[in-house]
């Protein structure tokens, strides 16, 4: 099965009169790993949530493989879309195995919990533990396994690594990229960290005040492309890289 494509068509969402997402239209090819980058309040999370209808847009449509997500009941749609977010949201009264299998359970199917734990590099012995006994990184791995359990075509990551330490964050990022390729997913990654976007994504969309103001490949961005807003976000990792290089050369 070819990876699923994704289209935003004039998507708009207002909260109390202000347009948080303002008439966004963009097409995303099946199989791409797209980073949505922007400062806090730029509307990137809200745009992401219009895909699985955690946010219903006031205007416009979102299409997955050409069909409007607004058709049919939202729970059914969500069962085909993986969603991982900063809050993790593991169910504290369920074991790791029950958390991972929850998507299959509500759809009336079985899940291969052992294989899913292998997929996110968690020891199978953890299956019977409760989330409170796990570290933050381990919890987010369970979160990823839970999102991948129903074999989704689209994976949404909303600041999924934001609360983790830098080492765990980097490792998980690399693993997600590998999973993305192995499972043939279409992945959208929301982050405010331009460096993370550059190193993981195949395409970077820059958001500002509810609009997409930059759209470029990581290579273009590194070479000064993608527009003014994108380059202002590029300033931080670029400056950090220069200072690191200076340190290497003895200051």
Q: Please give the Cα distance from 27 to 30 (Å, whole number).
A: 10
CB of 133 to other proteins, least distance (A): 12
Q: Is 110 in the site for other proteins (CB under 8 A)?
A: no
Of 34-42, 84-92, 109-117, 229-237, the window that binds other proteins (rule: CB under 8 A) is 84-92
Q: Please give the Cα distance from 208 to 200 (Å, whole number).
A: 21
Angle at 102 between CA 98 and CA 108, to 5 degrees: 120
Site for other proteins (CB under 8 A): which residue of 103, 173, 218, 226? 103
CB of 6 to other proteins, least distance (A): 17
Q: Please give the Cα distance from 30 to 185 (Å, whole number).
A: 8
Could you identify the residue written with the tokens 């976000």? 233
Of 22-30, 67-75, 183-191, 217-225, the window that binds other proteins (rule: CB under 8 A) is 67-75
Cβ closest to other proteins, residue 157 vs residue 207: 157
Residue 29 corresponds to which tokens in the numbers above?
Answer: 């090819």
Q: Interface residues for other proteins in 143-182 (CB under 8 A)? A: 143, 146, 150
Cβ closest to other proteins, residue 116 vs residue 198: 116
Residues shown for the chain: 251
Site track for other proteins across 8-47, x = CB under 8 A: ----------------------------------------
Q: Is 129 in the site for other proteins (CB under 8 A)?
A: no
CB of 142 to other proteins, least distance (A): 11
Q: Is 106 in the site for other proteins (CB under 8 A)?
A: yes
Site for other proteins (CB under 8 A): which residue of 42, 52, 187, 191? 52
Residues 6 or more apart whose Cβ sits within 8 Å of residue 226: 204, 206, 214, 215, 216, 220, 234
197, 189 Cβ separation under 8 angstroms: yes
Nearest to 85 by CA among 160, 192, 164, 168: 160
Count of chain residues binding other proteins (CB under 8 A): 26
Residue 95 corresponds to which tokens in the numbers above?
Answer: 């074991």
Q: Please give the Cα distance from 176 to 34 (Å, whole number).
A: 12
Q: Summarize as ranges the residues that interact with other proteins (CB under 8 A).
A: 52, 54, 73-79, 83, 85, 87-93, 102-103, 106-107, 130, 143, 146, 150
């Amino acid at each position: 099965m070819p990876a699923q494509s994704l289209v935003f068509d004039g998507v708009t969402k207002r909260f109390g009169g202000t347009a948080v997402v303002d008439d966004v239209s963009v097409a995303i090819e099946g199989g791409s790993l797209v980073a949505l980058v922007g400062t806090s309040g730029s509307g990137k999370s809200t745009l992401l949530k219009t895909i699985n209808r955690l946010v219903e847009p006031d205007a416009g449509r979102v299409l997955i493989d050409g069909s409007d997500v607004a058709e049919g009941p939202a729970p059914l749609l969500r069962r085909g879309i993986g969603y991982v977010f900063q809050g993790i949201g593991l169910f504290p009264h369920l074991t790791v195995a029950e958390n991972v299998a929850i998507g299959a359970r509500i759809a009336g199917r079985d899940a291969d919990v052992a294989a899913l734990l292998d997929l996110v590099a968690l020891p199978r012995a953890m299956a019977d533990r409760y989330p409170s006994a796990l570290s933050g990184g381990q919890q987010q791995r369970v979160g990823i396994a839970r999102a991948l359990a129903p074999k989704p075509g689209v994976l949404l990551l909303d600041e999924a690594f934001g609360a983790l330490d830098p080492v765990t964050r980097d490792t998980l990022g690399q693993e997600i990229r590998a999973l993305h390729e192995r499972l043939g997913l279409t992945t959208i990654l929301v982050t405010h960290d331009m460096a993370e976007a550059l190193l993981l994504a195949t395409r970077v969309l820059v958001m500002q005040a509810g609009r997409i103001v930059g759209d470029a490949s990581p290579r273009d961005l590194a070479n000064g492309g993608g527009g003014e807003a994108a380059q202002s976000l590029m300033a931080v990792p670029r400056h950090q890289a220069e200072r690191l290089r200076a340190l290497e050369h003895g200051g």
